Amino acid sequence: MPESLKPPKPPQLSRTVESRVAIRKHPVHPMLVVFPIAFLMVVAPLDLLHLWSGLAFWAQMAMVLSAAGLALGLVAAAVGTVDLLLIPVVRRHVSAWSHALAAVMLLAIAAANTWLRWEDPVAAVWPWGLLLSSVMALLVGVAGWLGGGLSFHHGIGVAGHPGTEDRGPDAPPEA
C-alpha cells in the first residue's frame, strides 16, 4: 500500500515530567502565569483606549496592570526558575531556555514600562508607553507559546496519570 494511503499513526504518548513546585501534584508555575499574562496583554489595548477616548482612567489602569503584571510575573518567574534548575530533563530542551529568555525580556520591558508610567501615567502613553506595551504583548505571546509547548508537547510541568508512561499507542483510553 502506498505511504499516502496508509492511515496516520496515532501520536506517541510522551512521558510526563512533574513539577518540583506543586501543590498536591498540581504545578504552581502554570497556575501563576495566568494573571501576569492577562494583565500585561491588556496594557496595549488600554493605551489605545486612552489615546482614542482621552480619558486619564485608561492610562492609569494601564500603569496599575503593568505594575501588577510585573509583580506577579516575578513570582511566577521565581517558581519557573526553580523547576528549570531542579529538573534535569527540562534543561535539555532548547524551548525551555527560549521560554526563560523570552520571559526575562518580558519582565524587563514590563519593568521599564512601569517605571516610565510611575510619575505621570497619562503623559507616558504616547509614544513610548504604547511602544513598550506593544512589545510587551508580543513577548507575552512568544513566552506563552513556548511555555505552552513545554507543557502540551513535552509534558513538562504536568501531573501524569498512573500507568500512562507504560501504555502503548494502541492501548484503549482509561475510563
DSSP 25-84: TEEHHHHHTHHHHHHHHHHHHHHHHHHHH--HHHHHHHHHHHHHHHHHHHHHHHHHHHHH
Of residues 129 and 163, more confidence is placed in 129
Kindly state the average pLDDT of the residues 155-163. 66
| pLDDT at residue 56 in the model | 97
Kindly state the average pLDDT of the residues 45-59. 98
pLDDT at 146 over 80: yes
d(Cα 130, Cα 158) in Å, to the nearest integer? 36
Residue 169: pLDDT band with limits 50, 70, 90: very low
| pLDDT at residue 118 in the model | 97
pTM of this prediction? 0.80
pLDDT at 46 over 50: yes
Residue 161: pLDDT band with limits 50, 70, 90: low
